[in-house]
């Protein structure tokens, strides 16, 4: 055999060098880059402004951010016609400086509505026609303000109940189910390039909610409504079984041509914290990322706050907590290391 062919044969037969495999990521940003997805966090704006360690950790670790409350209706228009954009602007401006993309949350929800709106509907001073105009103007104003700066919007949030019925709200009661299609159309008109999502909790496992949401998406698509994604909130607890069919549920939405995303992941536990509970929590976080990576249409995994210092969980679930990747002192927990160890099945 000629020397050149012998050399070539030896190269082909040799084991792959170590650099053929990605090096272990140093942080979540590098993990996201290696997997080709966005890894993000909800952001507490007051902490972003006031806490240097919070700010530093957020911008080191995450390539995607969501305003925890700053873009909700009661925050941006607490008085009719009086807009307070400072907090939402602060998030968008910080994201631009730190090479992060933004999820807008949320345009239409039954909660955290301003008092002037709910009171006006309740006393009849705002009728159905005016309510529709108010909703259109709210969506148009907010989406247009951030046109080109928001990667994806949670357009409608939590519109299906756990029993599979449509959630009663001032929108459904006074405008009928057509408000959902209208919301997507108005948002698309205001920013044609933004990805528009339906977002809900328990969509990971609850069969009635899954079937109704799938039917809702199909109905919107049949009408030519611009809907681009389905968001799975992912508020989990180790006292409950991990939703083992989650990846297949994601695929059912992906099969409709949608992006999918894990939009609000946290994993709470009954207090006190133990090493065993932290290990179990780590497994849930790892499985959630693995499920996302197993579905090609899954573009994002966002945690609903990254530090227990500012977690929403203790306030809503008495006796529970420690739901985040970092503790109150911003020390990474086993769940953080578990995410860094995930390898892509793609």
Closest CA to 46 of 68, 24, 20: 68
What is the DSSP track for 211-229?
A: HHHHHHHHHHHHTT----E
How many angstroms separate the CA atoms of 114 and 334, rounded? 40
Which alpha helices (DSSP H) does the chain contain, by range?
A: 3-13, 28-35, 45-50, 52-61, 73-76, 86-97, 115-122, 128-145, 170-175, 178-190, 207-222, 246-254, 275-293, 313-316, 334-340
Tell me which H or E stretch contains 156.
Answer: strand 152-157
CA 268, 272, 274, 276 dihedral sign is: negative
Strands 320-321 and 195-200: unpaired
Task: Assess whether 264 carries a catalytic annotation.
Answer: yes
Tell me which H or E stretch contains 40.
Answer: strand 38-43
DSSP assignment letter at 20:
G
How many angstroms separate the CA atoms of 135 and 139, rounded? 6
Catalytic residue among 158, 259, 264, 300: 264
Question: Rounded to the nearest 5°, which phi and psi values hold at 149?
Answer: -115, -10
Are the beta carbons of 153 and 193 closer than 8 angstroms? no
How many angstroms separate the CA atoms of 85 and 16, rounded? 53
Q: How close are the terminal C-alpha atoms of the chain, in Å?
A: 39
Q: What is the greatest pairwise CA distance in the chain?
A: 93
Q: Is 253 exposed, middle or buried (0-12, 13-18, 19+ CB in 10 A)?
A: buried
Active site residues: 264
């Amino acid at each position: 055999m000629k020397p050149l062919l012998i050399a070539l044969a030896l190269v082909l037969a040799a084991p792959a060098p170590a650099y053929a495999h990605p090096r272990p990521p140093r942080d979540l940003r590098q993990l996201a880059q290696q997997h080709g997805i966005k890894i993000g966090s909800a952001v507490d704006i007051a902490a972003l402004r006031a806490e240097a360690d919070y700010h530093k950790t957020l911008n080191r670790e995450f390539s995607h951010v969501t305003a925890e409350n700053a873009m909700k209706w009661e925050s941006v228009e607490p008085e009719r016609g009086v807009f307070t954009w400072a907090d939402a602007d602060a998030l968008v401006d910080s994201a631009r400086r730190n090479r992060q993309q933004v999820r807008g949350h949320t345009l239409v929800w039954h909660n955290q509505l301003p008092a002037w709106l709910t009171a006006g509907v309740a006393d009849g001073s705002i009728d159905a026609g005016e309510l529709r105009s108010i909703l259109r103007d709210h969506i148009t104003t907010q989406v247009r303000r951030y046109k080109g700066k928001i990667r994806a919007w949670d357009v409608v949030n939590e519109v299906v109940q756990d029993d599979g019925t449509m959630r009663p709200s001032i929108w459904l009661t006074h405008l009928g189910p057509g408000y959902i299609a209208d919301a997507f159309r108005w948002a698309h008109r205001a920013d044609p390039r933004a990805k528009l999502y339906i977002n809900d909790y328990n969509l990971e496992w609850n069969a009635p909610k899954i079937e109704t949401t799938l039917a809702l998406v199909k109905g919107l698509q049949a009408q030519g409504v611009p809907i681009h994604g389905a968001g799975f909130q992912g508020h989990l607890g180790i006292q409950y079984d991990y939703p083992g069919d989650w990846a297949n549920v994601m695929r059912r939405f992906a099969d409709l041509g949608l992006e999918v995303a894990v939009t609000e992941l946290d994993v709470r536990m009954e207090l006190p914290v133990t090493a065993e509970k932290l290990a179990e929590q780590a497994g849930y976080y790892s499985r959630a990322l693995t499920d996302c990576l197993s579905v090609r249409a899954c573009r994002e995994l966002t945690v609903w706050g990254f530090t227990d210092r500012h977690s929403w969980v203790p306030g809503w679930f008495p006796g529970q907590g420690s739901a985040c990747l970092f503790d109150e002192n911003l020390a990474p927990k086993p769940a953080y290391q578990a995410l860094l160890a995930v390898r892509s099945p793609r």
